[in-house]
């Protein structure tokens, strides 16, 4: 059945991805109308998240941000499908890395790097990092139930040189690389909620006390990896700019959780600049009532 579903649907997805951007964005507008006005997909979740994060803003303004979020959300969905057929030249024109030398200078010294980022603007096109970085790039992916789709998605996300591996294998794979002196850059999006029972650290983020993923910091200290943040900003529809910012090249000089504090500060500043481009549709603050006093 999985094979049948794949062979019936994948050619449609591929052909859809071949449409020009101007046509895809017309489809995105229609999808926005359907999700927002007809289905009402997670509208309450988004508004609640915005109210918690920006209690000083009137509800009328928050609802405008919500509308802009959904318009952007459908664009990112369409852009991820476009990834199946987008060329290297087209992607480099639309996803511009302003200062890759920040990463490349660290890489010259032989250190492995943990690249921290968030679900902001377009995080899907970060698969293009190998095109501008002088270091091998690794990223984890979530296993799909349909093995045929999993293979297709993995092939798509690694076509520009990135190496992908299943999320449960991340630490094992990283340990093997370090042991064999294989330098690499490891991409971690660390702005989602960890499981509460596995939480070591709680911190205010966007004004709400939430559990924090600390795996990136622990791995950076264990393997003496540099930590660099990437921030993606939307310039205009379909065009993005990425800034790299070094957090530290000496992680063991930091007290526990200071690295994550710095990352959260950078991420929060980015979100407050333009709230509409953050992924508000997930329940980011679902554990706030469990926060330690």
Residue 226 confidence (pLDDT): 98
pTM of this structure = 0.94
Report the run of H or E that residue 113 belongs to, with start and end: strand 113-117
Task: Return d(Cα 52, Cα 96) in angstroms, integer.
Answer: 32
Residue 127 confidence (pLDDT): 94
Q: What pLDDT digit, counting tens, does each position of 140-152 carry?
A: 877 778 888 888 8
pLDDT (mean) for 278-287:
91
User: Average pLDDT of the chain?
Assistant: 94
Residue 170 confidence (pLDDT): 85
Residue 288 confidence (pLDDT): 86
Q: What pLDDT digit, counting tens, does each position of 84-101 carry?
A: 999 999 999 999 999 999
Residue 163 confidence (pLDDT): 92
Start-to-end CA distance of the chain, whole Å, equals 50
Residue 207 confidence (pLDDT): 92
Name the more confident of 3 and 211: 211
> In 3D, which of 278, 271, 244, 242 has the Cα closest to residue 95?
242
Residue 96 confidence (pLDDT): 98
Contacts of 33 (CB under 8 A, 6+ apart): none
The pLDDT confidence band at residue 287, using thresholds 50, 70 and 90, is: confident
Residue 196 has pLDDT above 90, yes or no: no
Evaluate whether 212 touches 199 at the Cβ level (below 8 Å).
Answer: yes
Residue 29 has pLDDT above 80, yes or no: yes
Q: What pLDDT digit, counting tens, does each position of 135-187 carry?
A: 999 998 777 788 888 888 888 889 999 998 877 888 889 999 999 999 999 99
Residue 40 has pLDDT above 90, yes or no: yes
> In 3D, which of 10, 57, 188, 198 has the Cα closest to residue 116?
188
Residue 26 confidence (pLDDT): 98
């Amino acid at each position: 059945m999985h094979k049948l579903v794949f062979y019936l649907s994948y050619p449609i997805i591929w052909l859809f991805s071949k449409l020009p951007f101007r046509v895809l964005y017309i489809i995105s507008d229609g999808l926005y109308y359907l999700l927002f006005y007809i289905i009402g997909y997670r509208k309450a979740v988004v508004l609640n998240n915005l109210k918690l994060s920006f209690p000083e803003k009137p509800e009328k303004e928050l609802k405008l941000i919500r509308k802009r979020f959904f318009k952007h959300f459908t664009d990112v969905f369409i852009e991820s499908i476009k990834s199946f057929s987008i060329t290297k030249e087209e992607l480099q024109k639309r996803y511009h890395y302003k200062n890759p030398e920040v990463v490349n200078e660290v890489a010259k010294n032989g250190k492995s790097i943990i690249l921290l980022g968030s679900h902001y603007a377009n995080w899907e096109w970060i698969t293009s990092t190998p095109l501008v970085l002088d270091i091998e790039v690794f990223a984890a992916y979530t296993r799909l139930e349909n093995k045929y789709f999993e293979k297709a998605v993995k092939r798509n996300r690694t076509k520009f040189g990135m190496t992908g591996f299943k999320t449960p294998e991340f630490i094992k794979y990283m340990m093997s690389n370090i042991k064999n002196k294989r330098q690499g850059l490891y991409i971690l999006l660390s702005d989602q909620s960890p499981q509460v029972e596995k939480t070591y650290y709680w911190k205010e983020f966007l004004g709400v006390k939430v559990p924090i993923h600390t795996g990136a910091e622990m791995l950076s200290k264990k393997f003496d990896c540099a930590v660099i943040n990437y921030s993606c900003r939307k310039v205009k529809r379909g065009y993005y700019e990425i800034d790299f910012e070094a957090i530290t090249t000496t992680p063991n000089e930091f007290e526990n959780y200071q690295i994550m504090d710095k990352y959260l500060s950078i991420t929060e500043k980015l979100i407050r600049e333009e709230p509409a481009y953050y992924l508000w549709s997930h329940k980011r603050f679902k554990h706030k009532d469990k926060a330690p006093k």
